[in-house]
């Protein structure tokens, strides 16, 4: 039976439709009703009905908003508008929101019967087209560990798992379920409004993955795979692994199929350790270097959503703990973090924005006497990236100036040439590290952007009139 919900602020209309329409004849049952759009939206979220018949003009939340938000919460639900003749313009607008159709008041019961006939036809065709069982209770059984229910559903669907026929869980991040074309035996279930799970025998997994990819072509789809299993007690763990992998498009910024990430990642531990050190010493340069490294690592697929969430919560918690005001907000879980930012780069930019004010560093203050807008932007970029491999050619391309003109303008505005300015920034930072850390001098040179130890010591002595070793010894006297 298909599930239906009726929404109208006039109770007598609801009761008349419930009692007068031949629901069972068309394979429907009414599972709920509501008197305003807000109540109806809660029903849609909780019950995920196949069909909602709704009035337009209602208190709290009108029918148009209900349709819009209801489609977001339950993409497969079909909406039918119950509208008076005077509200015909609203009914037409509702069609733009993806409404299936409308019935004009005052309507005859036969009119609604006719609508149910067409709805049943579409729903039957949809079921036949997908050629798989959509089991809403399967996910709940997996999460609760009710393996008797899971085993029964698999057996009834011809999907039993054993050593000869292991099952592979797949999770897809998308706003709607895929409309598959191939006749591949599998089970599907909705895990959340934007996550869909699939169970398929390992031998058919590649074909199903390609079919799902084709169905989402042109969108930022993200598909995660778990590990194959023959023991159903491992199903929940493998599904969670696939779910974590399905955030691959968030971490890399590219759509695709993603394999399970490693259980532990020493790279994220190292990044977080360096970030913590930078924050404790209010070292803006080290912090920016860590965040730029993190961006590259995310884009190269070295970090998972678990790592992203760990980085985000660690930084936000640091600000809560230190009492820094205006330091952002927490997000509840991977899905909320993914939905809010869309891509790890945006998350990192957010963290940088909320951190730089905390990292006060006088050596990075741009001189107030420099008024040229482009030069100020270039200086800001240098202050955040002087440990990188900077060049006049690279800056000229980034800021759309010819190399010769940039050299001339830089010298005129700043009073020293580009090489001197960058070298001075690096040496100032080297002095800070020599004072605040016990890192080896060669390592400090590397961190400051000097790849050659002897060149570093020569430039350091030219600027400070002493070697790095002599400078460190002087600080301890």
Q: What is the DSSP string of 222-269?
A: EEEE---BSSGGGHHHHHHHHHHHTTHHHHHSS-EEEPPPPS--HHHH
How large is the average pLDDT for residues 314-325?
A: 71
Q: Are 80 and 102 in contact, with CB atoms under 8 Å apart?
A: yes
How large is the average pLDDT for residues 257-275?
A: 89
CA-to-CA separations, 174 to 42, 128, 192, 364, in angstroms, rounded:
22, 22, 10, 43
- pLDDT tens by residue, 453-465: 888 999 999 999 9
Hunting for tokens 């003749």 — which residue is that? 85
Task: Please tell me the predicted confidence (pLDDT) of residue 132.
Answer: 45
**Which of 73-87, 106-120, 193-207, 301-315 shows the lowest per-residue confidence on average (mean pLDDT)?**
73-87
**97 pLDDT exceeds 60?**
no
Task: Please tell me the predicted confidence (pLDDT) of residue 139.
Answer: 87
- pLDDT tens by residue, 396-418: 999 998 999 999 999 999 988 99
Task: Please tell me the predicted confidence (pLDDT) of residue 262.
Answer: 83
- pLDDT tens by residue, 240-259: 999 999 999 999 999 999 99
Task: Please tell me the predicted confidence (pLDDT) of residue 170.
Answer: 97
Task: Name the more confident of 363 and 446.
Answer: 446
Task: Please tell me the predicted confidence (pLDDT) of residue 363.
Answer: 47
Q: What is the CA radius of gyration of the chain?
A: 30
* Terminal-residue alpha carbon distance, the chain: 85
**105 pLDDT exceeds 90?**
no
Task: Name the more confident of 318 and 132.
Answer: 318
> Nearest 5°: phi and psi at 360?
-70, 125
Task: Please tell me the predicted confidence (pLDDT) of residue 131.
Answer: 45
**119 pLDDT exceeds 80?**
yes
Task: Name the more confident of 104 and 378.
Answer: 378
Task: Name the more confident of 238 and 152.
Answer: 238
Task: Please tell me the predicted confidence (pLDDT) of residue 128.
Answer: 60
């Amino acid at each position: 039976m298909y599930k239906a919900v009726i929404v109208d602020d006039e109770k007598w209309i609801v009761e008349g439709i419930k009692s007068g329409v031949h629901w069972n004849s068309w394979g429907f049952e009414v599972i709920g009703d509501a008197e305003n759009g807000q109540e109806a939206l809660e029903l849609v979220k909780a019950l995920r009905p196949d069909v909602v018949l709704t009035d337009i003009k209602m208190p709290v939340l009108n029918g148009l908003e209900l349709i819009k938000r209801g489609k977001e919460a339950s993409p497969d639900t079909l909406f039918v508008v119950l509208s008076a003749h005077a509200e015909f313009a609203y009914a037409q607008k509702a069609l733009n929101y993806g409404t299936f159709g409308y019935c004009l008041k005052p309507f005859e019961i036969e009119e609604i019967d006719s609508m149910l006939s067409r709805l049943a036809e579409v729903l039957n065709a949809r079921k036949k087209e997908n050629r798989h069982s959509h089991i809403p209770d399967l996910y709940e059984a997996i999460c609760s560990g009710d393996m008797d229910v899971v085993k029964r559903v698999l057996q009834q669907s011809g999907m039993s798992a054993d050593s000869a026929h292991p099952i592979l869980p797949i999770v897809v991040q998308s706003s709607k379920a895929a409309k598959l074309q191939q006749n591949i035996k599998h089970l599907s279930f909705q895990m959340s409004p934007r996550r869909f799970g699939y169970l398929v025998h390992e031998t058919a997994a590649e074909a199903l993955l390609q079919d799902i990819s084709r169905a989402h072509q042109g969108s930022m789809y993200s598909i995660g795979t778990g590990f194959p299993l023959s023991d159903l007690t491992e199903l929940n763990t493998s599904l969670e692994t696939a779910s974590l992998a399905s955030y691959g498009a968030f971490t890399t910024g590219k759509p695709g199929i993603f394999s399970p990430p490693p259980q532990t990642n020493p790279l994220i531990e190292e990044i977080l350790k360096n970030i913590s050190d930078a924050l404790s010493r209010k070292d803006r340069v080290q912090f920016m270097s860590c965040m730029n490294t993190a961006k590259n690592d995310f884009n190269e697929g070295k970090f998972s959503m678990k790592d992203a969430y760990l980085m985000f919560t660690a930084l936000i918690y640091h600000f809560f703990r230190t009492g820094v005001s205006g330091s952002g907000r927490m997000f509840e879980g991977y899905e909320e973090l993914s939905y809010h930012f869309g891509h790890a780069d945006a998350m990192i930019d957010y963290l940088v924005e909320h951190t730089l004010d905390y990292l006060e560093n006088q050596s990075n203050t741009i001189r107030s006497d420099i008024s040229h807008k482009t030069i100020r932007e270039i200086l800001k970029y240098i202050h955040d990236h002087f440990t990188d491999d900077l060049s006049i050619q690279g800056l000229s391309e980034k800021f759309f100036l010819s190399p010769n003109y940039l050299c001339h303008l830089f010298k005129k505005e700043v009073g020293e040439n580009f090489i001197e300015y960058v070298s001075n920034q690096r040496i100032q930072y080297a002095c800070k590290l020599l004072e605040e850390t016990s890192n080896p001098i060669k390592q400090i040179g590397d961190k400051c952007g000097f790849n050659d130890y002897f060149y570093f010591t020569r430039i350091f002595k030219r600027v400070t009139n002493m070697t790095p070793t002599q400078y460190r010894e002087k600080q301890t006297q």
